[in-house]
């Protein structure tokens, strides 16, 4: 049902290279929501995403997907369960074509079912990828590579799509296009967890947000509430 909790993170602690970096973080993402986590570089946002996807161990606390504990699961298992992560580095197969990269996103049994429809859906969302479908990923612009990374994630038929700094390195025009795409995906019913330094734009398109500082959540609220917060305005918006 819409509004019920899909992803719940309860009091997690994470170490990076043996050093505690995430300290008792809790948050939730409901079905159909766009939720963002904002904070400055080094706050721990990407570390949380890597922990959610099993790339870093959680040494205390719980991660639940639709009520089922998933901490300690392998990344491949999490993808099969519907948790899909688009990393900041994009991790494309550069010599392979756009279409080959997209098809690599559809490796789970669920994703392979209806693969042609998924491909068409991605091309409809990103017409430039259709135009460049035979080109090597290495020949794409930065914005087109970000489209491809998101498109490949969508090919996995995610229950929740987690985006790590998707606007990083993009021109202002492409940033606007990217956030328009996220809005469209939400309109289509996709649940999205967005990690971003681009605070204003993220909060403007999000139902709710969390502010992370030094590995701790220091504020939470609706996107509108956080945009109006004096703390957020001073710390991130220069107001």
d(CA 125, CA 115): 15
Structure tokens at 45: 């946002």
Check: CB of residue 75 under 8 Å from CB of residue 54: yes
Instruction: Examine the pLDDT at 194 and tell me if it is beyond 50.
Output: yes
d(CA 135, CA 98): 6
Helix, strand or coil, per DSSP, at residue 43: coil
Residue-level length of the chain:
239
Distance CA 206, CA 117 (A): 28
- The mean of the pLDDT values for the chain is 92
With CA atoms as reference, report the closest residue to 10 among 69, 75, 74, 76. 69
Name the more confident of 153 and 40.
153
Q: Give the per-residue pLDDT at 64.
A: 97
From the CA atom positions of the chain, what is the Rg in Å? 17
pLDDT tens, residue by residue, 53-108: 999 999 999 999 999 999 989 999 999 999 999 988 878 989 999 999 999 988 77
pLDDT tops 80 at residue 201: yes
Of residues 47, 45, 63, 74, the one with CA closest to residue 8: 63
Cα angle value 220/223/225 (rounded, 5°):
70
Rounded distance, CA 24 to CA 135, Å? 45
pLDDT band at 1 (very low <50, low <70, confident <90, very high): very low
Pairing of strands 191-196, 160-164: parallel
- DSSP summary character for residue 197: S
Query: H/E element holding 38?
Result: strand 34-38
Q: Is the pLDDT of residue 5 over 80?
A: yes
Phi, psi angle pair for 172, to nearest 5°: -55, -40
What CATH number should be reported for the domain whose range is 1-82+160-166+186-239? 3.40.50.300
In the predicted model, is pLDDT for residue 210 greater than 80?
Answer: yes
Q: Is 161 left (phi over 0), alpha (psi -120 to 50) or beta?
A: beta
Q: Is the pTM of this model over 0.85?
A: yes
Start-end of CATH 3.40.50.300 domains in the chain? 1-82+160-166+186-239
Given a contact cutoff of 8 angstroms between Cβ atoms, the answer to whether 14 and 48 are in contact is: yes
């Amino acid at each position: 049902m819409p509004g019920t909790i899909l992803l719940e993170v309860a009091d997690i602690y994470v170490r990076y290279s043996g050093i505690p970096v995430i300290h008792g973080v809790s948050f939730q993402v409901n079905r159909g929501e766009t939720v963002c986590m904002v904070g400055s570089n080094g706050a721990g946002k990407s570390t949380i995403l890597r922990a959610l996807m099993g790339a870093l161990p959680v040494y205390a606390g719980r991660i639940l997907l639709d009520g089922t504990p998933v901490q300690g699961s392998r990344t491949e298992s999490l993808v099969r369960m519907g948790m899909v992560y688009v990393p900041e580095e994009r991790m494309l197969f550069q010599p392979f074509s756009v279409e080959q990269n997209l098809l690599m996103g559809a490796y789970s049994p669920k994703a392979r079912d209806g693969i042609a429809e998924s491909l068409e859906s991605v091309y409809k969302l990103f017409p430039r990828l259709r135009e460049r479908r035979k080109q090597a990923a290495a020949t794409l612009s930065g914005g087109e590579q970000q489209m491809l990374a998101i498109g490949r994630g969508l090919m996995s038929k995610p229950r929740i799509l987690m985006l790590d700094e998707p606007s990083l390195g993009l021109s202002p025009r492409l940033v606007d296009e990217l956030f328009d795409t996220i809005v469209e995906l939400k309109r289509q019913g996709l649940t999205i967890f967005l990690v971003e330094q681009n605070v204003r734009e993220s909060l403007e398109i999000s139902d709710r947000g969390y502010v992370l500082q030094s590995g701790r959540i220091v504020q939470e609220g609706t996107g509108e509430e956080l945009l109006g917060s004096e703390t957020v305005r001073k710390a991130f918006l220069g107001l």
